[in-house]
Amino acid sequence: MMQHIRGPLMAATVVAVMTFGIAGCGSDDPTSVDDSNVSTVPALSEIVAAVSLSTTQAGVIETALGDWRQAEANASPRRFAGRDGDFDPERRAERHRPMMDFVAMVAPSLDSGQLKDLAQFLVQHRERHRSRLGGETGERHGGFDDGRIAEELGLTVEQREAMTALRKETHDAAREIHQKFRNGNITKAELNQALVELHAKARQRLGEILTEEQLARFEEWRRERMKQRIERQLKHLGRRLEERVQWLTKVLGLTDDQSQQVTTVLETSIAERKTVLELLRDGDITREEVHTQMLDIREATMEALGQILTEEQAERLDAVRLLQPRGPRH
Residues belonging to the chain? 330
Distance spanning both ends of the chain, measured CA to CA: 38
Amino acid 35 reads D
- Written as tens digits, the pLDDT of the chain (330 aa) is 544 444 444 444 555 554 443 333 333 333 333 444 557 899 999 999 999 999 999 999 999 999 999 998 887 554 444 444 454 555 555 677 899 999 999 999 999 999 999 999 998 998 887 776 554 443 444 444 456 788 888 999 999 999 989 999 999 999 899 889 888 899 988 988 999 999 999 999 999 999 999 999 999 988 898 899 899 888 888 877 888 899 999 999 999 999 999 999 999 999 999 999 999 999 898 888 888 899 899 889 888 988 899 999 988 988 887 786 544 444
- How far is 206 from 215, CA to CA, in rounded Å? 8
- How far is 305 from 98, CA to CA, in rounded Å? 27
- 3-state SS of the chain is CCCCCCHHHHHHHHHHHHCCCCCCCCCCCCCCCCCCCCCCCCCHHHHHHHCCCCHHHHHHHHHHHHHHHHHHHHCCCCCCECCCCCECHHHHHHHHHHHHHHHHHHHHHCCHHHHHHHHHHHHHHHHHHHHHCCCCCCCCCCCCCCHHHHHHHCCCHHHHHHHHHHHHHHHHHHHHHHHHHHCCCCCHHHHHHHHHHHHHHHHHHHHHHCCHHHHHHHHHHHHHHHHHHHHHHHHHCCCCHHHHHHHHHHHHCCCHHHHHHHHHHHHHHHHHHHHHHHHHHCCCCCHHHHHHHHHHHHHHHHHHHCCCCCHHHHHHHHHCHHHCCCCCCC
Answering whether pTM is above 0.75, one says no
According to the model, what pLDDT value does residue 92 have? Answer: 56
- Angle at which helix 241-252 crosses helix 7-18, to 10 degrees, equals 130
According to the model, what pLDDT value does residue 247 have? Answer: 92
Contact 297, 15 (CB under 8 A): yes
According to the model, what pLDDT value does residue 158 have? Answer: 93
Contact 304, 3 (CB under 8 A): no
According to the model, what pLDDT value does residue 306 have? Answer: 81
Query: Residue 73 CA to chain centroid, in angstroms?
Result: 24
According to the model, what pLDDT value does residue 94 have? Answer: 67
- How far is 23 from 228, CA to CA, in rounded Å? 13
